[in-house]
Amino acid sequence: MKYRIQPATPEQAPEIARLIMEAMDADCCRNFAGPHHTLADFHRLLTRLVGMEQTQYSYRNTLTAMQGRRLAGIITGYDGKDLRRLRQPFIDATQRELGRDFSRMDDETQAGEYYIDSLAVREDCRRQGIASALLKAFIQKHGYNQPVGLLVDITHPTAERLYVQTGFVYKGDAHWGGHAMRHLQYPVKCAWCLGDKLSERYHDTEWGAPVHDERLHFMFLLMETMSCGLSWKMMLERREVFRKVFADFDAAKVAAFGEADVQRALRTEGMIRLERKIRGMIANARAFVKVKAEFGSFDRYIWSFTRGRSLVYPTHQSREVTHNELSRRVADDLKRRGFSYVGSTIIYSHLQAIGVINDHKTQCFRYRELLPACTVVQGE
């Protein structure tokens, strides 16, 4: 059954509280309730906290998965630096209403991460991808500025496997509430890739890494120029189709293509069937081969524009940049050499892809990994 992810409302507090209790597990809930009160008492207390605005369990900190009008799952979290302030209403309420003192409770998070407090899916709604969707939505909403963190009980390997498959990485061991835990974090990434596994894998392993292999140069140039008027995600999805059509990105072989190869490409399943672009890629391959003959390699040619340096522009951090003086200069030279579909915007994107320009956001883990090999440039 289909579901949609959306912010919680105060009216959903009783159901949200029930799911948070499922995430806590029965033993934990009984400990909070104490020997003189029931789980129903604790549920009523938690319901009130969910309905408030400034608590760790607040509906304002919660995303829901809805199947029609039915609440199927929830994820609740907050900025780690706010933990003690948001937890105080819980400490006050449990002491006042249940006679329990949790004022010395261990901190489960801290400043420097956005913390997932609770993730739960109704038992009859599981194995539908809801937990994964909630995690991805939470990361997309909060994971662009600081890591998203959580604690997972070492006795819950299925939950840990879900987090690792989503992209969380082990940061260390922890203890909370008498339980041995693992601290996992989802590293900060550039916002454009969040929520799509293929885009994230490309971002994490390729985008912005300096390229010096001739086939990779031709591959990225081909994909960038094919993307003109289309989406980059589509290019990533069709990469293996392009590899099949364009001779494993061997520019010399593509340069020798004739009419039969054009028609073969047009018949290939999954290929973008735009004849003018296919012919343009063949023409670009011929121009690519000429550049190699003149400079010894396309790699030497393209990196000559920056004297072999990867560039970082601090001014790009505060605004979206789609072209600059460098991309205009490279685009003009490529056009002069017979390349097509190489406007300054396409070439700017290409320079980002092959690592000539490092435009990862400063908070992104890849920015820090690539920075040592970069030169900081003032200006555009």
Residue ranges per domain, the chain?
4-188, 206-376
367 is an active site residue: no
Catalytic residue among 192, 232, 313, 369: 232
- C-alpha distances (whole Å) from 70 to each of 13, 14, 61, 137, 371 are 13, 13, 19, 19, 47
Confidence of residue 372 (pLDDT cuts 50, 70, 90): very high
Fold of 206-376: Endonuclease III; domain 1 (1.10.340)
Token reading at 269: 């399943």
78 is an active site residue: no
Average pLDDT over residues 216-237: 94
Q: What is the pLDDT of residues 5-40, one digit of tens each?
A: 999 999 999 999 999 999 998 889 999 999 999 999
Q: Are 108 and 115 in contact (CB under 8 A)?
A: yes
DSSP string, 272-292: ---HHHHHHHHHHHHHHHHHH
State how far Cα 375 lies from the chain centre: 26
Choice among 21-30, 91-100, 205-214 with the minimum mean pLDDT: 21-30
Entry pTM: 0.79
Confidence of residue 214 (pLDDT cuts 50, 70, 90): very high
Is the pLDDT score of 44 beyond 90?
A: yes
Mean pLDDT of the chain: 95
Indicate the residue type of 227: S
The rounded percent of the chain whose pLDDT value lies above 70 is 100
Token reading at 96: 């006042």
Catalytic residue among 108, 160, 200, 224: 224
Confidence of residue 177 (pLDDT cuts 50, 70, 90): confident
- What pLDDT score was predicted for residue 45? 98
Give domain 4-188's CATH architecture. 3-Layer(aba) Sandwich (3.40)
d(CA 314, CA 61): 33
DSSP string, 304-320: GGGTT-EEE-GGGGGS-
Phi, psi angles (nearest 5°) of residue 78: -160, 170
Burial class of residue 96 in the structure, from the number of CB atoms within 10 Å of its CB (0-12 exposed, 13-18 middle, 19+ buried):
exposed
Task: Report which of 127, 15, 108 is spatially closest to residue 62, judged by C-alpha positions.
Answer: 15
d(CA 296, CA 302): 11
Confidence of residue 87 (pLDDT cuts 50, 70, 90): very high
Catalytic residue among 186, 202, 301, 341: 202
Order of strands, edge to edge, in the sheet holding 4-7?
4-7, 62-67, 70-79, 114-121, 148-153, 179-186, 169-176
Confidence of residue 137 (pLDDT cuts 50, 70, 90): very high
- What pLDDT score was predicted for residue 90? 97
303 is an active site residue: no
